Amino acid sequence: MKKSNAMISQLRKDYFSTPVSSLISLVIIGVILFVSLNIFNWGVVESVVVPDLGMCRAADGACWGFVSEKWRLILFGRYPYDEHWRAGFGTFAVVAMLVISAIPYFWTKTGAKFLMGGWALTMVAFFVLMYGGVFGLTPVDTDAWGGLPLTVILTLIGMTASVPIGILLALGRRTEMSALRVLSTGYIELVRGVPLITVLFVATYIFPLVLPSGWNIDAFWRIVIGIVLFQAAYMAETVRGGLQTIPKGQYGAAYSLGMKTWQVYVYVILPQALVAVIPAFVNSLLSTFMDTSLVTVVSMYDLTGSLRLALGDPQWRQFFIEGYVFIAAIYFFSSLLMSRYSLWLEKRITAGKSH
């Protein structure tokens, strides 16, 4: 009872303390209710969920029948229809390992060994399933990869590989070796000065021209390289920001213990700096997750691109809003889970420091 009274008192203080604030609060509440009711009416009450074109055209609400009809094309793109189980199972395995990796129980030495082995097996399984050509699986070229599997694997590899490169670039930008500092700074500023779409074009169409004769890198891996190198520049600035939060006394204390430079950074400086930039890391992760939609311009179809393929059917094209709401929900809930986990991780680390 006391908690309820305290909550009501706080609400009055925050939103209804004066006539003006009360009026503003009521207007905002009214707008939210009006919009919410209309969306609920459109998306639920008057919606159509069966893939019946006639019913959808006659309905006043949303046509979720479009999603019911095209969901496999949206989620898996041009991957062969009869082989969707392979793409689905491979993506599920990767997501499952991400969830397992987020559980503190597996952060011990024993757990770390399990994670290393688990990730090795998962990545091998993913690419075996996606590529095929072994164990009786039909070969599937990377040009046919798309949808959610492509989005997930590009995000995973892009972030995982860009972190160590970004750390090295950040350290290179702070080093006293002039040549290395100039090279690191020049790379970071050059890459940050161009949009990702330009990097993807260069990786897809220009990079093959400078390779030695007879060399050929698959288009998928050229895109992966482009995303990694692009993200590494931003990761370097994120890490550099974390390094600047460490007091100089930490360096002196570590050196006074007889540590070598690499030991100072590995055991003292970087663990603190990386913890300090967890929010920025998550922001980079979300950015990479969203930016995978740009691969459409180089003829690969991620989740957004696969929706465009589905909308290529003229019979269903008018229901594009429902399609975009569907993939927006996937992006939103994925991003929400990542951001909430980031907040939980920050609190856990902060609590650990206070003890």
Buried b (16+ CB within 10 A) or exposed e, 137-149: eeebebebbbbbb
Our CA dihedral for 74, 75, 81, 87, rounded to 10 degrees, sits at 160
Which residues does 94 contact at the CB level (< 8 Å), separation at least 6? 122, 123, 126, 152, 153, 156
86: closest CA among 140, 149, 150, 129?
Answer: 129
Distance CA 154, CA 290 (A): 11
Q: Exposed (0-12), middle (13-18) or buried (19+): which is 329, by Cβ within 10 Å?
A: exposed
Tell me which H or E stretch contains 139. Answer: none
Instruction: Give how far Cα 133 sits from Cα of 32, 136, 139, 226, 329, Å.
Output: 54, 7, 4, 27, 34
pLDDT tens digits, the chain, 355 residues: what are they?
A: 556 667 777 777 767 778 888 888 889 999 999 999 999 999 888 888 888 888 888 888 889 999 999 999 999 989 999 999 999 999 999 999 999 988 888 888 788 888 899 999 999 999 999 999 888 899 999 889 989 999 999 999 998 999 999 999 988 888 888 888 899 899 999 888 888 888 888 888 888 777 777 778 888 898 999 999 999 999 998 888 888 888 888 777 878 878 887 788 888 888 888 877 877 888 888 888 888 888 888 878 889 989 998 988 888 888 889 999 999 999 999 989 988 888 888 787 776 555 5
Instruction: Give how far Cα 323 sits from Cα of 54, 66, 72, 138, 316, Å.
Output: 18, 7, 12, 30, 10
Q: By three-state DSSP, how is residue 103 classified?
A: coil
Chain centroid to CA 33: 32
Distance CA 67, CA 51 (A): 8
Which residues does 84 contact at the CB level (< 8 Å), separation at least 6? 72, 76
Tell me 326's DSSP state: H
Residue 294, amino acid: L
Handedness of CA 96, 284, 334, 107 (dihedral sign): positive
Beta strands in 205-342 (DSSP E): 301-302
Domain ranges of the chain: 80-139, 150-354
Distance CA 267, CA 263 (A): 6
pTM for this one? 0.86
* CATH for the 150-354 domain, from 1.10.3720.10, 1.10.286.10, 3.30.43.10, 2.40.50.60: 1.10.3720.10
42: closest CA among 332, 329, 325?
Answer: 325
Distance CA 25, CA 41 (A): 24
Our CA dihedral for 174, 180, 183, 189, rounded to 10 degrees, sits at 0
Tell me which H or E stretch contains 216. Answer: none
